[in-house]
Amino acid sequence: QVQLVESGGGSVQAGGSLRLSCAASKETRDTYCMGWFRQAPGKEREGVAALDTDGSTAYADSVKGRFTISRDNAKNTLYLQMNSLKPEDTAMYYCAAADVCLATRAVSYILVVESDFGYWGQGTQVTVSS
């Protein structure tokens, strides 16, 4: 198992940037597919980005070109760089890990599939004001 702790959330004006971090309790590069999800009030949780063990990535259409998922293997840390933030990006953001991203691979890395992910952090709040 792996424990995940997110940080880096906060309040920012539209057009601004934030970088979320997710510290893992163990090395994840060769073992876990990693992902970011978000849930806005009154809405279902949605996949934002995923990063597989081979470096393949998937992004939600709503964040493509604005968000970048990456990892620092030496620090066992996953990042989500969020640029050009919009009020509709306001949500609780969750880091997640999967033993394997079978479903994500099956859709050719177009979708971030929640059913892949079995390990979750507690979340960090992102609020974007207009």
Q: Indicate the SS3 state at residue 40.
A: coil
Q: In sequence order, which ranges of the chain are alpha helices (DSSP H)?
A: 102-106
pLDDT tens for 105-123 read 999 998 999 999 999 999 9
Whether 90 shows a pLDDT value over 90: the answer reads yes
Confidence at residue 29, expressed as pLDDT on a 0 to 100 scale: 79
Q: Indicate the SS3 state at residue 125.
A: strand
Instruction: Average the pLDDT over 84-108 and give the result.
Output: 95
Token pair, residue 44, equals 């279902």
Average pLDDT, the chain: 95
Confidence at residue 31, expressed as pLDDT on a 0 to 100 scale: 86
Cross-strand pairs, 98: 33
